Structure 1
């Protein structure tokens, strides 16, 4: 029986219990909590440095009202990076390869930014639907287009994250399968393919981090428009 390459994206179960719950809870166990001491180990120091720089980068362009979101966005960033990186390990499962999971992350936060914009500055928020100086004949068309573009934002966020991680995992599995088959037929080609697989794995690590950063950065930009 031939196993499909897409079986790796099926949520595993044990005794009828979906293990995706364990995959979602594991990142919080792995991230260490800073202790009361002034000096910590190198990993916690690096973690603090990363959190401080990331928070500064996404919060500096915002007004003071958006700074309340720093904890949520930073936690989401760490959560996505950890999940994406853990998914690259053997015999693991990556929840962010599921479109439904990414939509569950994107839709509530996007909707919250829209509601905040409509509550705090309704004129400015509705003004995005109709640019200033638009000809009268184009007003209905532009309103429809801008409304569609507004509601498609969370879908674009989720599809971008899902597509990039899914494509990377599939490409790694295809090249690994090819190297395994060629090992007995063409050892030299198999070694070259294995070297290519190693480079692709490094690239996929970078993609896992970059896509998590892009996901949170775009959410912060949506928030910046509404605060």
Structure 2
């Protein structure tokens, strides 16, 4: 039972080749390339509107030097969003349920924001480790706490994304198994669990979009502190 629940999170293989690479490349293959035509189609128009709206929302509070990250963070947003949504389809695999992948995205991006801060404004970056007006006896303790908090940030980014998607996938599988089990005993209860499954699927779609946005939003906040 436990093995069946968590087997959906193991990377599928074909002829000994892991298919996680295919799952990671699929969002880019489905994302259309912008066209130079005067009248683009509806899909490209919707894509352009989404990218412009997202970029304006994320980078409005940032300083001008932080706007250089627009292309990178928008690409990360589209990448995570595509993998999250495609992973909800039947017989698919969600790469963002793997902590290794999420940390592989979070750690380099977080480290880049920290490196930019220490390169451009080292005094302000070090000042974040010690709040102004701190009593002298508390200075060593606060420096240790703020340093630990700084290094926990990439771990929190990766674990948040992994935990939310994993929990929702497990709930969907548990309720779908309950629906199938109840179908032979009580159709009324089975119908109720099926309606619950539909509502949970809608919630999972919302979680997939929100978690992709939150991941990039937190990165933009870290960038705002260091630019």
TM bin, normalised by shorter chain, reads over 0.9
Q: Which residue of 2 aligns with 1:164?
A: 164
Partner of 1:60: 60
**Structure 1: which 4+ aligned runs deviate by more than 3 Å?**
none
Q: In structure 2, how many angstroms separate the alpha carbons of the residues matched to 1:115 and 1:10?
A: 34
Determine the C-alpha separation between the residues in 2 that align with 1:2 and 1:77: 32
Deviation at 1:4, TM superposition (A): 2.0
2:216 paired residue number = 216
SS at match of 1:152: helix
SS of equivalent to 1:184: coil
Superposition map of 1:1-227 within 5 A: 3-227=3-227
Q: Normalising by structure 1, what TM-score?
A: 0.98
Provide the rounded CA distance (Å) in 1 between the counterparts of 2:76 and 2:164: 18
Task: Give the drift of 1:168.
Answer: 0.3
Q: How many residues of Structure 1 are paired with residues of Structure 2 in the alignment? A: 227
Task: Write the deviation string for residues 88-121 of structure 1: whole angstroms up to 9, x where unpaired.
Answer: 0011000100111100000000000000000000
* Distance in 2 of aligned mates of 1:10 and 1:26: 18
Change (3 A) 1:161 1:122: same
Q: Deviations over 1:94-151 (max 9, x none)?
A: 0100111100000000000000000000000000000111111101100000000000
Write the distance in 2 (CA, Å) between the matches of 1:49 and 1:192.
Answer: 38
Kept in 1, the 8 Å contact 2:182–2:190? The answer is yes
Q: Give the alignment's TM-score, normalised by structure 2.
A: 0.98
The answer as to whether partners of 2:58 and 2:220 remain within 8 angstroms in 1 is yes
Unaligned residue ranges in structure 2 (runs of 5+): none
Structure 1 residues without counterparts, runs of 5 or longer: none
